[in-house]
Amino acid sequence: EERADLAGRHVVVSAGGTREPLDPVRFLGNRSSGKQGFALARTAVARGARVTLVAANSELPAPAGVDVVRVGTAVQLREAVVEAAADADAVVMAAAVADFRPAVYAEGKIKKRKDAEPEPLALVRNPDILAELSTDRARAGQIVVGFAAETDDVLANGRAKLARKRCDLLVVNEVGESKTFGAEENEAVVLGADGSETPVPRGPKEALSDRVWDLVALRFP
Ligand code: PMT
């Protein structure tokens, strides 16, 4: 099965999960392994694309032929994705990005104060990278794809998220403590801004990736 339908295209994929540091030894993070984003990168290379993969805290090795930029926090991920997106035909945000980060970074390890109640943790908003990419397209006709990790009311939440973020496609997948995060397989419904709904049955993360690239390729101007 040889397809080169992404030849001549530059695509940007984000993968993994951001970590928002509290102090030199602690962070707020999530369970993303990077497997879904790395599968998107591998399948795009196989279809002829030039691929930039912005990877947040993933243990996975760089796939052959992919330009990998490693980042830690949401702010770093935003900077790397926005830079790579400048000349991209498509951007796919598979990374699990923290919506909030600690308001203060403690230069020294936060101490447990004997007999005292813990301090409440103050958070501030992180940039919404997907909404920004969708609203201020770096190029006319650039295709922007988001993922939605939902635990309940999966489709209804997905539709609302698609409208809010203004992306072209939203891959809605159900997640749980050991569901999808870190798993080899995924299952999803890909929602289109045009009202389309493409269900993708459970299978390897590569198979879902190929369906996503099919839908992206159809939308190229
Ligand atoms: O890495 P794996 O272990 O293979 O797991 C894959 C996955 C579950 C991480 C992946 O399939 C997935 O669902 N990724 C999106 C996770 C997520 O952050 O979903 P969300 O519903 O919180 O965010 C919606 C979209 O907005 C995402 O495209 C996200 O990248 C983006 N976002 C979110 C917050 C933020 N501040 N900026 C963003 O750009």
Provide the CB-side half-sphere exposure for 87 (13 A, CA): 6
Identity of the highest mean pLDDT range in 18-32, 113-127, 170-184: 18-32
Q: Is the pLDDT of residue 195 over 90?
A: yes
Ligand 1 near 126 CB (within 6 A) = yes
Q: Taking every pair of C-alpha atoms in the chain, what is the biggest distance, in angstroms?
A: 66
- What value does the mean pLDDT take over residues 140-158? 94
pLDDT recorded at residue 118: 86
Ligand 1 near 172 CB (within 6 A) = no
Q: Is the pLDDT of residue 221 over 80?
A: yes
Q: What is the pTM of this model?
A: 0.97
pLDDT recorded at residue 164: 97
Closest CA relative to residue 216, chosen from 198, 203, 205: 198
Q: Is the pLDDT of residue 1 over 70?
A: no
Cα 209 to Cα 47, 61, 65, 100, 105, distances in angstroms: 11, 18, 17, 28, 37
At 51-93, the pLDDT tens digits run 999 999 999 999 999 999 999 999 999 999 999 999 999 999 9
- 134 φ/ψ angles, rounded to the nearest 5 degrees: -75, -40
Active site (annotated) includes residue 30: yes
**What number does the ligand 1 atom closest to the CA of 205 have?**
4
The CA distance from 100 to 109, in Å, is 20
- 57 φ/ψ angles, rounded to the nearest 5 degrees: 55, 40
Domains by residue range for the chain, with CATH: 10-101+121-219 (3.40.50.10300)
At 197-214, the pLDDT tens digits run 999 999 999 999 999 999
The rounded Å distance from CA 172 to ligand 1 centre is 10
Ligand 1 near 182 CB (within 6 A) = yes
Q: Is residue 134 very low, low, confident or very high in pLDDT (cuts 50, 70, 90)?
A: very high
- What value does the mean pLDDT take over residues 125-137? 98
Any idea which residue has 């790579």 for tokens?
84
pLDDT recorded at residue 88: 98
The rounded Å distance from CA 118 to ligand 1 centre is 30
**What number does the ligand 1 atom closest to the CA of 150 have?**
21
| Ligand 1, atom 33: closest residue by C-alpha | 97
Given ligand 1 and candidates 35, 38, 130, which is best to mutate, with the most ligand atoms within 8 Å of its CB? 130
pLDDT recorded at residue 116: 87
Q: Is residue 2 very low, low, confident or very high in pLDDT (cuts 50, 70, 90)?
A: low
Predicted interface score ipTM higher than 0.95: yes
- What value does the mean pLDDT take over residues 31-57? 98
Cα 87 to Cα 10, 67, 156, 201, distances in angstroms: 7, 14, 33, 33
